[in-house]
Amino acid sequence: MDFLVNLLAIWARLYPSLVSGFAVTISVALAAIPLALLGALLLTPLRMWGGSIIHAVTGAYIEFMRNTPLLLQIYLIYFGLPLLGLYPSEFMCGVIGIAMQHAAFLAEIYRGGIESISQRQWDAARAMGMTWAKALRNVILPQAGLRILGPIGNQLIILVKDTSLVSAIGVVDLTMVGKVSIERLAVTLEIFLAIALIYLALTGVLGAVLRIIERRVLERIG
């Protein structure tokens, strides 16, 4: 009982800082999500139909981004861009790093969805007189889109959790608020528990919204 009372007292004391950190976390996620989705839309056709050289380059980029730690990529952006004469804020470095990695994962999801459609679908569309582009737009992409709704949602939830890494370069998000509060109050478990519950609520709400969107899309088509 004493632990619970102490826990609530610490949370009440940290409430303004947690709200501020939560707002930054949301801002990072809202900035990174559209960039990742759009980046994947650019990478996918280059990866699938860009010719041998472009295919190799985009493939190498995707494999690098998927198989190296996100934290390392954020550090490379944060410390590397100034060497090129570019000085984005810590916030932007974090957003860019998160978006670049998740664009690579999403591009593979897009590609997998398109390649999962049977060749017979292509052949039937072409037999009806459709051009390749029209067959892709009207026949293949709608079917592929339905198959990748779930995986895209899962990837976006992972993206939201990955926003915690921006604290490593000084962005004052939820995780950074927790680190600073631990140093100031000399309390660890209660603070990390509060932050974990906030992330759980955030990803839970996002997951519920994505499931509603997926269900409505399926109902409209069905």
Domain extent at residue 80: 2-221
Q: What does each C-alpha distance from 104 to 38, 108, 125, 153 come to in angstroms?
A: 11, 7, 29, 15
Structure confidence by residue, pLDDT tens digits, 158-186:
999 999 999 999 999 999 999 998 888 88
State both tokens at 67: 């198989």
pLDDT at site 1: 64
The predicted pLDDT at position 158 comes to 96
Q: Where are the alpha helices (DSSP H) in 116-169?
A: 119-127, 132-135, 141-162
Residue 52 has pLDDT above 90, yes or no: no
If one counts every other C-beta atom within 10 angstroms of the C-beta of residue 55, the result is 14
Q: Please give the average per-residue pLDDT across 94-122, as a whole number.
A: 94
User: What is the mean pLDDT of the segment spanning 130-156?
Assistant: 89
* pLDDT band with cut points at 50, 70 and 90 for residue 2: low
The model carries a pTM of: 0.91
pLDDT given at position 209: 92
Please give the Cα distance from 83 to 87 (Å, whole number). Answer: 9
Express as a percent the part of the chain with pLDDT over 90: 62
Structure tokens at 168: 């490593």
Nearest CA-CA partner of 65 in 39, 41, 31:
39
Average pLDDT on 53-71 reads: 95
Residue 145 has pLDDT above 90, yes or no: no
Q: Region 95-99: what's the mean pLDDT? A: 97
Cα separation, 70 vs 95, in Å, equals: 11
- Dig out the tokens for 59 from the structure: 């493939």
Q: Specify the number of domains making up the chain.
A: 1
Task: Tell me which amino acid residue 68 is.
Answer: T
Question: What pLDDT score does 222 carry?
Answer: 58
Across 85-112, average pLDDT: 96
Q: What confidence tier does 138 reach under pLDDT thresholds 50, 70, 90?
A: confident
Closest CA to 162 of 90, 73, 70, 89: 70
Task: List, in order, residues 6 or more apart from 114 with CB less than 8 Å away.
Answer: 44, 48, 140, 141, 144
Domain containing 48 — which CATH number? 1.10.3720.10
